[in-house]
Amino acid sequence: MRFGPLVVTFLTGATLIAIFFIPHRAAQQTQSVILEWADVVYAFALLLGSISLWLAHQKKVQQRGEGWLYSAVTLTALAGVTFLGVTQGVGGDTIVGKIYDSVNAPLASTMFSLLAFFIASAAFRAFRARNVEATLLLVTAVVMMVGRVSIGEFIWKGFPPLTEWLLDVPNLAAKRAVAIGVGLGAISTALKIILGIDRSYLGRS
Partner 1 sequence: MAATPNGIWQRILGIDRRWIFVLVGVGTVLPLLFPVNLPVTPSPRVQAAYDAIEAVPEGSIILMSIDYEPDIMAELQPMSIAVLRHCFRRNLKPVILTLYPAGPRLVEQALAVAGAAEGKKRYDDYVFLGYKSGNQAVILGLGENIRGLFPRDFYGVRTDSIAIMQKVNSFVDFPLLINLSGSSIADYYIRIGASRYHRPMILGSTAVMATDYYPYLSSRQILGLIGGMKGAAEYERLMGIVGDARRGMDAQSLVHVIVVILVVLGNVALFATGGLKRRVGGGA
Beta carbon of residue 6, minimum distance to partner 1 (angstroms, whole number): 23
Length of the chain, in residues? 205
Binding to partner 1 by residue 124, rule CB under 8 A?
A: yes
**C-alpha 148: how far from chain center:** 25
DSSP 197: S
d(CA 17, CA 24): 14
Work out which of 3, 26, 64, 111 binds partner 1, going by CB under 8 A: 111
Cβ-based nearer residue to partner 1, 103 or 197: 103
d(CA 56, CA 53): 5
Work out which of 117, 200, 201, 205 binds partner 1, going by CB under 8 A: 117
Binding to partner 1 by residue 92, rule CB under 8 A?
A: yes
Angle at Cα 90 formed by Cα 86 and Cα 94, nearest 5°?
A: 105
d(CA 96, CA 105): 12
d(CA 186, CA 171): 22
Work out which of 8, 18, 123, 197 binds partner 1, going by CB under 8 A: 123
- Counting residues that bind partner 1 (by CB under 8 A) gives 58
Binding to partner 1 by residue 46, rule CB under 8 A?
A: yes
Work out which of 5, 13, 27, 97 binds partner 1, going by CB under 8 A: 97
The three-state DSSP-derived secondary structure of 27-71 is HHHHHHHHHHHHHHHHHHHHHHHHHHHHHHHHHHHHCCCCCHHHH
- What mask, x for binding partner 1 by CB under 8 A, covers residues 139 to 178? --xx--xx-xxxxxxx-----x---x--xx--xx--xx--
Beta carbon of residue 204, minimum distance to partner 1 (angstroms, whole number): 28
88 Cβ neighbours under 8 A, 6+ residues apart: 94, 95, 96
Work out which of 2, 7, 8, 28 binds partner 1, going by CB under 8 A: 28
d(CA 82, CA 49): 14
Cβ-based nearer residue to partner 1, 14 or 103: 103
Which residues lie near partner 1 (CB under 8 A)? 28, 31-32, 35, 38-39, 42-43, 46, 90-92, 97, 100-101, 104-109, 111-113, 116-117, 119-121, 123-125, 127-131, 138, 141-142, 145-146, 148-154, 160, 164, 167-168, 171-172, 175-176, 179
